[in-house]
Each structure stands twice: as structure tokens, then as C-alpha cells.
A and B are shown apart, each in its own frame.
Chain A
Amino acid sequence: MDEEEHLHRYGTPLDPLEKDEVPAKKPLGIEDQVVKDENGKRRFHGAFTGGFSAGFWNTVGSLEGWTPQNFKSSRAEKATPRAQQRPEDFMDEEDLGEFGIAPQGIRTRDEFAKESELEQRTGQRKRKLMQAPASGPIPGVPVLEQLLKPVKDKVAVRILKSMGWKPGQGVGPRQTKKEKQQAKTRNTREQYLLEHYGAEPKEDQQQDEAVVDADDDDDDEEDITFAPDDYEPVFYTPKENRFGMSYSGLNRDPILSKSSSASGANVMQQFNLFGDLETKSHPKKVTIRGQAFGVGAFEEEDEDIYARDDMTRYDFTLENKKPKQKKVQHVQQRHVIEGFSEDKSGVSSQKPFAIDLPRDFSPRNWLHRRSRFEPLAKEKIRQLEADNEYKKAGLGRHDLNPNQRAKLLGEAAISAEEPTKKNPFKDKGKSLLERITSKGNSFTTGGVITETGEEQPQKPKAIDVTKEVVQSNAAILEKASLKTKDLAPLAPKAGFKPFLADEAKQQRYEKFLEANLKDETKITEFLSNLQPVTLSLWDREMEKKEFIQAAKIYRPLAGLMYDRFVSEASVQADKVDSAKDAVPQETKQIIMERTKTMWKPSSLLCKRYNIAEPFGGAMIEPEKELKAKPKMSIFDYLETSINTKANFQTPTIIPKHIEKPKEVPPLPAPVPLAPPVLEASKSSQSIDPPPSSSKVTFVPKTALEKAVDESRDRPISEKVDLFKSIFDDSDEEQEEQVVENAVEELPEDKLSAMQAALGLPSTSTSSAAAVNILRNNSPPRGIFAALFKPPAEDQPPKDTPPPKFAPIEGNKLKISYKSREERLRNDKELAMADVPKEDLYGPKLPTSQQKIQAVDSEETSTDAKLQELLLQHGSRKRKPDQWVEKILDSSDDSEDDSDTDASSDSSSDRIKKSKSSKAKKSHKTEKLKKSKKSKQKSKKKSKKSDKTKHKSKKKKSKH
């Protein structure tokens, strides 16, 4: 029974079921239970029926449910920009209510909140930081409390921690063991007294208590200090009844109900999850209430008859309770303010002397702000007036400009007399003092000079002031001159005397200094006059050098200063002058300079401006700095493979035998003296191919093509040759090439001669060959091997330059290696393209050669136009007609393959050319027999042209 008393119950107990009674209703199923708010509306819906208080049924109160905000703005009423949406906009009243998800109300923030408040708010009890070690069944700090620590401390705690405080410690200066114990006993005592008497302990009690308690420390470890103990702060309970002090009458509450016991603190302590594990089982207090014995009439009255004793106040052991000597000292120390220590030196404090304040001193509160309009103190007014007197007199700092002031100070004379010399210190002839004194003299004569420049009869006040100034200045100057009189003569040559040991030399040096010569020859002359004859030439030279050096090093200080410093007045004067100059600066002439240079507008710019390109677009571009692609892309590398301009080596590598053919063509020309004629005939020839030739005509496959087709289907094992030819060491090939080239030279010559005779453009196959040799022939490595496989089509022509007679099988294989589309295209090209005349022996002309036949004058590239221009200007005799194109070709030749990545213009040019070449070829097909070799060549060429076409297409698409 007794135990049940201590049990706690939660909730309201159900009515006990009668045994016979059958429950009338079925208990509600979970699905039928509905949460309703205070208005009886349904609060929660199922997840699929609107969720939390949303949806169709009970939103904003309307059947429509939520209606979107509509935007209204009229001229009269401007729509105000909607403020940022807040979560509150979407909340009901009840959400904001006390039990809602966002309760409203003014309260302290969590970090500042009192513990008890926080407890209330969060429903949890936080650890009591100032709690004394609990007295539960488990000794030590409550376990739960230790486990669950607050996430963040209160501000005060944080501050304390930053000051070195640790939880569990008390606050205050560190104490020695003794002090600590004293404090502890004191505290317990105070606590006790407070509990029982509700009043501060009396001083004497404390004292003797301290004396009693402090005796048990034997070790004098004054060095070791401890943090003071923590103690529960004392809470004073207000007196609410009219009983006597600390009297609590009989408890009127029923004995069993503990909840309504008097002290509020107890209520909270009834059950505490975070407190002790067990509710406090009240230990039986060993208290003796009242006094055991009454007070007799003759006895002295007790100090307090209401004192309640407990067993702690009784001694249980026999101990020496005599206070030690030390204790006395400690007791004494108690009078010292905390944080201070007693001065043991014994020096009596000095008596503070009275400060005699000025009679008119009136203490002022500086925090108190004065009104601006408060009347000033009379004296202050007087003082201010006196201070500003000069302003009235028109002598204020800002009343005069520097010039006027300079005049007033007598400096004006200088600037007037010697306007050329801006720096008065520069004339070193005069000593500084002389000049100063001279100025000093002028002070005395100075007066106020008005702006008009007239010396006016001054107003009495002004006279006073200026006179005073002048006189005082004069006096100072006099004094100064007196003081420095002795120094004055020394001043100019007061410099260091480097040659004191040798007097004659020193004299010579001084003379040398005076002479102040700059020119070396003059110095030697000058010195030779001074120097004694006995001196050797070498000595003389040395001396000269020494002197010059010394003069440089030991320059008199004054001289140094002369150079570096300038009197302020003169600087100001300069400034004024410059300012003056600035005003009439308007005369400063702006001289317009016009320079004209060539500038090439880009063709697109011209197009957009609807203007024809200047000089027909044949201007030289100064630099092609912009040609570099501004953006990097992996596709750039994929497309342009290796044969970009940048990848080409310097022309030093070009083998000689390749350059030869270049020079050859003009030589074999039968009529070298009449190139215009020749060219004219050529052009006439080149026009010959009918314009309709550009049409694509399909020709049935030849035997070779069929063979090639067959070879495509062969197994890989048979294609070893192909791979070899591709990835084999290029050196061998090159060597071969060289040999072949050498062999070919002769036929080539023949060819060119033939061509010349026929009026065909001379071939310079070498250029293509050269270009090809310059290419990076090494097989692709690493990832590039994979990267460059698809464009492998690029490689065969590279590896096997046009002039080379490659074995047919190899070639076939190469072709077979290509991708399918490529093959198809090639077939077409093959069909279209044709072999050159059979009577032309030797390698097929590279495609670039044949582009020439493009006749359209509009299609000339910029280079060609440039050439044209050059020729026009260079030799007027020549007719600037079609023949120019020939030169274009030759020039093109050299560049052609090298700048595959060149501008879109040139590439587009090339297409046209290749087209025309194609046209020509197809034209030829009709009349010419096909040879295997030539077919191979043409295949290659067609490939090439195809490539260029492809590229140009890409470029075009970019625009």
C-alpha cells in the first residue's frame, strides 16, 4: 500500500468495466478515426485525398478550394511588387496558434531563454549546470543527463567557457585548497542559515565559523589553486503570509497529496526523467527541532531561540579546535576585497593631496550635450573674439592668397625682381643667412598691400597686428643671426676635409671645389696650375681622380640641401603661377595631328555595310592574328589531323632535289621571253572545256574498279600489306620516294616542256611532293592511333605522294581500307574523273594544278588579286588579263597543301578549282583511253578534291 503511494499515474483512468456489461459499441477502427480541429473540421486527410488539411474539402473555406492570386494593375492603382512569400502565407490560424506548428508569441530566443522556460517550451528538462552532485541510488551525475547533452549552450555559458570556465566549477578567482574549504563550509552554512532563518548570517558568526572550519588543512600548498566550488544560488522566497519570520504553520494540505506542497520547486522535482533515476526517497532527517532545554530566568538568553539544530552542528569527534596562527591571517584576509591581496609591505598609503581647482572651474558632464544655441560663456566669447581678430582685420589665412601673403612677408619682391629664378636657394653665392636677414629687413618695411597693389593707410587694428608680427619676426631673426654668426662664414665650405693630413693638398682641394669645374680637361688644366712641379704625372692623375671622387662624396651638406629642399613660399608661389597659367591655359593650342594608314576591312564587314571591298578586296592584311581559332575543341584536332600549318616544319628541311623542279619549269619553256603570249594562249585553252562539263556523268565501272571492289572483301590476313604500307617506317618510303623522284625528274622535265608546248600550265608536282614529305609521317601513337583511324583516308595520299608509282595492289588495299561511304564516294569520283592524255608520260598532275583552269575572274583568290595589283603597278606594259591566273597557280601551288586550314575564302576558292578540274577530267574521259596507273592517280586526286570539298562544306556550314 505504501508503495502504491509513491507510484505515479498518467492519464485519466477508464471506467472500470462491469463484469456483466458487454461493450455496447464496437471500438472505432483506425480508418474511421478522424482528427478534427477545434472548429470541428477535419484536419487530416489521406495522402491521396489531399494530405494535411489541404485539398477540396476544407481549404480556404470555399468550394473552389485554393484560387490562385490574380494580378491586377491599373493606371490608377499600380500593382505593388509582391513581397517574398513566407511560410506563414500558407498557414491557417490554428497553425499559428499555441498548439500549431508555428506558435506565435513574444518570447526570448532559445539561446537567451532561462532554463526553466526552455524546459517548458521544449518539454524537456535540460541539465542543470549548477546542480550539486545528486544524491540518488547511483552515485555521481545522473546517467541520462550525461548521455544527452544539449546541442548548444546558452550565451552566458559560452562566455564563461571562453573565459576558461568548465562545467561543474564555480565562478570566481581560483582558490587554494584552504580557501576552497573555507568557502565550502561558508556556503553550506549560509545555505543552512538561509533556509532556516531566511536572513543573512551575522558577521561574527561567520567569522568564528571560519576559524573553526579552517583548521584541518595541514599542507601549505599555496601554489596549487583550485577552481571555486559551485553552489546552488539562493532563491529568496517572498513572504506571502502574516506569520512570523520563517514560520511555517501546519501544512494544510492533505497529507497524501504531495503535488500541492508549498514550494514550487518541489513540484518540478516530483518526477524528472533527466534528474535522478529514482524519485527522492526522503531520507529521514536527523533533525532536532527547537531547543532541548528551556531558558531559565537567570540564564543568558540564547542568541536565537528559533534556531533549528541538526546533527551536523554537533561534534562527533574530539579535535583540537584551537585556531592556528595562520587562520587569523586568513580571517583578516577576508576583509580584503575579492580579487585583491593585502599589501604586506607595510608602507602606509600616501595621503592624497587636495587638488586646487581653478576658481572658475565648473564640473561639466561631458555626456550631456549642449545646445548649439545656448549662449556662450562671456569669457569664451571674449577669447573667441580675440582669436578671430585678425580675420576682422582681413588678415585671415584664407583672406589673402599666397601671393598677397608673400607680399606681406616680403617675398613678393623676390618673385618680382627675379622671376627667372624660381628657387631662391639656388644662387649659392649668397649664404642662406644673408638672404634671410635681407628678408628680415624687408619685414620691417612691410605693410598691408591691397589687391590693387597700392599701399593703403592701414586700419589701426591691422597695423597693430602686422606690426606685431613683423616686429616679432625681426626679433627672432636677429637672435638667430646672432647665434649663427660664427657659423655663417663656415657654412659654404664647412664640408668634410678629406685631405687634412696633407695641408697643401687640402688647399688644392678647396680651390678645386671653389672652381667648381665640370669638364675633366678643364680640371686637369686647373689642377696642373696648382699642383707642384715635383708631382709625377701619375700622381697628378691620381689626385685629380681623388678630388673628383671626394667632391662627389663629401659634398657640403648645405649643398645637398640646396638641391633637395625649396622654401615653401617659393613652392606656393610656383603653384600660384601655375594656377594662373592654367586659367589662361585656354591659349594652349591643341595641335591636331592626322595620320593615315592602310586598314583592311574584313570582307564580311564590307558586305554588311553594303560596300564593295576596297581595291576589290586585294589589300594586304597586315597580320593574321585573328586567324587563330579562339576556341579550342577536340573536333578541331579530329578534323585537321596533322596537316595543319602549325605542324609544318621550317622550310630548312626541304630536300634540295625537290626544290629543283620549281626552278625547272621556266627553263624548258621554249619561248621564255614571251610569257604573256604563252599565258594568253593557255588561258584561251583553259577556257576551252565546255561549261557544261561540271555536270556529273556516270560511267560504268572499269575492270580495275571491279578488282578494287573485290579486294575490299578480302579477309584481313591478306591485307597485311596495307597495314604495312600505312604503319611501316616512313623512312624507307621516303628513301624510295627520293629515288623515284630522281628518276622522275627527267620525265617531268619532258612533261613540262610538253605542257609548255601545248600551252598547258607547267607542272610543278614537286610542291605537292615537298609538302607531303614535310608531313608528319610517323604512325599515330597512343590514343591518336585510335583517333586518327577514321580519317585514315588522309594518310594514304600523304604517305604516297602523287608522283610516286605505288604498286597497284597496295593501292587497292589502301582503298579497301576506307570506310564504306568514302568508298562509295570514291567510286563516283572514279567514274567522273578521268585519266590525263595518254601521251603524257609520267605522274599525273596534282589536282591543284588543274584548278587553274577555273577561268572566272571573280573567283580569283585574294592572293591572286594582290598579285594582279602588284603586276599592274609594277609593269604597266603587261596586260592585266587572264594570264595572271597562271601566276596565281604557281603561287597557289606552293601554299596549296600547306594551308588546308586556311581561311574560308581560300578553301572556297579551292573548291571551285577542284570542281573545274573535275569538269576537265570528265571532259577528257570521253576521248581518252584509260590506263591503270593514270586511273590510280586520278583516284587519288579525286579523293583529294573530295576532301577539300568536304572541308569547305564544313566551313560554310559554320557561317
Chain B
Amino acid sequence: MPTFAEFQCQTTIDCKQGAVRAVRYNIDGAYVLSCGSDKKIKLWNPQSGLLLKTYGGHADEVTDAAGSCNSSYIISASLDKSIIYWDVSTGSPVRRLRSHAGGVRCVCFNEDSSIAISGGRDNAVMCWDIRTRRLDPVQVMKEAKDCITTVLTNQDKIYAASLDGCVRSYDIRMGELTCDKVGEPITYLAQTKDEQCLVAGCQDSVVRLLDCETGGLLSEYKGHKADDYHIECGILANDAHIVAGSSEGLVFIWDLLETNILQRLRISDNGGVVHSLATHPKRQELLFARRRDIYVYTTDIQIEEEQL
């Protein structure tokens, strides 16, 4: 059981792109993507807070973004119903994929970034072939009854969380769709590193840990306030702590096993919803989005500095 070290604020970045809709790490956690309500995506260095690049081309708020496995491409989802595949270095959109009938809420790459998976307000999950120039989705999954809030994938499964209270996992290997009904609208879904469990942030202010194998509810984490916000949750790199934002400017970190609150981070004194967060893929580092700012929290500032 790893011991818990308190998180401290390392950097605060004012993104200057309207409200930040989502923050995401790239594959190795060296860079940060922020999706703004000003239709732009910005690439940051989280340590220095340096703006590296701005990607503009969406026609509406950007809701989600993900970097490819080699960090040379970005895929982004927007409420303009399109997904854009960006070249990181040139900042130009390589491909614009349009098939969703509603705004796209979430997007992710598969392991080798050959397939992009998106979920939208049209209740559809779409798989896009990135390798070829095909402009229509490879596959569309329309099983969900409500807006798709998160899509995840691992080596052989695609997970889609929906506001209809279900987590659907599409097993490619088995050719099987498993629908786990939680009953509460799920606003966000995260996966443990061992791919055994899912962390589902629910609308009823509870973060639930689901077992992938059996579909059982392993534990619940409470204390934060979700209200009507799209609150994201996450699991830290050590698979021992669960983190979730809250509507009153707080962030809660729970112990995965004990389900007790380990730390209550006050991101800001004057409110604001901490709706988006990202966990560093390797280190004990967290990224939060509140209003127009990004906050980088880390446990070991000294080490960081040494590394730099």
C-alpha cells in the first residue's frame, strides 16, 4: 500500500481561452492539452506553464482531446459535431471527421492510435480509422440511450459511459457487448492501470468503482458535490487513490480500498467548479481545470525541481 503524500499546487496557468472544458495529459504526461470554450485547443508545458501551440479550427466549444501514442497527432472532439485530427507540430487540422448527429463529447485513441473512438450527444459511439483517409466511421455503436459522456479503450475493449446510467463495454475479442447498469447517470469513466476496474463518476455525487470482470460494484466514494455538472474523476497512477472534482472548488482524494477521504484540496477560495481533471500517467501528479485556469498539483515539488 503506497503511502499517501499530500498534493500541493505547483503551477497555475491562466489559459485565456474562455472556460476550460477539459484538460488532458499527453501519453507520457509531459504536455497538457486544454480544451477551451473559445473553440481552441492549447498545448502547454505543465511544469513551466508555457504555451506551446494553439490549435484552432473547431466551430464550437472543444469538449475533449487526446494525444496520439507518438505525441505527433491530437484528436479533438467538439460540439460542432466534428472530430479533428491535428498535426501537433504544424498545428493544422489533418482531417475533419463528421458523422455524429450531435455534439461530440469525448474522444480517445486506441493503443497504437490507429483508431479513434468518439462518443457524442447523439448517443452514438463511433470508431474512426485513422490509418486510412476514410471519412466515415468504421463502426457505429448506437446502443446507448442517452448522451455518451466518456469513451475508453484498452487492448481489446471499448468502454462507453452514458448518461442513461450504463457502462457499455464492447469486447472486440469476444464479439460481445456487456452493459453494466449503474442506474445513475455517469458523467465520467476512468480505468485503472491494471484494467481490472472502472472508476465511474456518477451524477448523484458518488464515485463508484466497478469490477470489469463481474460487473459488480466494488466500492463507493462520497463527499464531493457533483450537482448538475459534468464532474470528472480519475485514478492516480499508483492505482491506490481516486480523485474527483467537486462543484464548490474542491477536489477530493480517496483511498481506493478504505474509501476514506485522504485529502481535500481547495483549488480556489472563490468557488468555481472543478469539473475536469487528469491524472499523470506515471507520476503522482494531477491536473485540474477550473473556470479559465489549469492547476497542476503534485506531491513532490522538490523532486520535480531536481529533475528540471
- Chain A interfacial positions (CB closer than 8 Å to B): 586, 590-602, 604-606, 608-615, 619, 626, 630-631, 958-959
Contacts and interface: CB of A to CB of B under 8 A. Distances in A.
Given A592-B215, A592-B217, A599-B141, A606 B182 contact: no
B179 A605 contact: no
A745 B136 CA distance: 47
A594 B176 contact: no
A614 B156 CA distance: 11
A817 to B, nearest CB: 37
B178 A608 contact: no
Among A591, A594, A597, chain B packs the most CB atoms within 10 A around the CB of A594
A598 B171 CA distance: 10
Contacts of B183: 590-591
Interface in B256-283: none
Contacts of B95: none
Interface in B194-229: 208, 210, 214-217, 220, 222
Given A592-B215, A608-B131, A598 B156 contact: no
B37 to A, nearest CB: 20
A959 B141 CA distance: 21
Given A590-B217, A602-B139, A959-B134, A608 B175 contact: no
Nearest to B181: A593
A592 B180 contact: yes
Contacts of B177: 596-599
B302 interface: no
Interface string B166-180: 000011111111111
A847 B141 CA distance: 37
A608 B110 contact: yes
Nearest to B136: A630
Contacts of A594: 178-181, 214-215
Contacts of B210: 592
A959 B184 contact: no
A599 B175 contact: yes
Given A601-B175, A615-B175, 7 more contacts: A586-B222, A590-B217, A592-B217, A593-B180, A613-B175, A626-B137, A959-B132
B156 A604 contact: no
Contacts of B170: 599, 601
Among A610, A619, A631, chain B packs the most CB atoms within 10 A around the CB of A610
B27 interface: no
B99 interface: yes
Nearest to B210: A592
Given A592-B216, A614-B172, A630 B99 contact: yes
A599 B144 CA distance: 13
8 contacts: A595-B179, A596-B179, A599-B175, A599-B176, A608-B112, A614-B173, A626-B139, A958-B134
B139 A592 contact: no
Contacts of A611: 156, 172-173
Contacts of B138: 602, 604-605, 608
B92 interface: no
B179 A608 contact: no
Contacts of B60: none
A260 B112 CA distance: 93
B231 interface: no
Contacts of A599: 141, 170-171, 175-177
B178 A605 contact: no
Contacts of A593: 179-181
Contacts of B13: none
A594 B213 CA distance: 11
B122 interface: no
A609 B217 CA distance: 28
Contact of B182 (A590, A608, A631): A590
A182 to B, nearest CB: 68
Contact of B139 (A605, A619, A630): A605
A598 B174 CA distance: 9
Given A590-B183, A605-B139, A609-B156, A598 B115 contact: no
Contact of A592 (B132, B141, B182): B182
Contacts of B208: 590
B293 interface: no
A605 B115 contact: yes
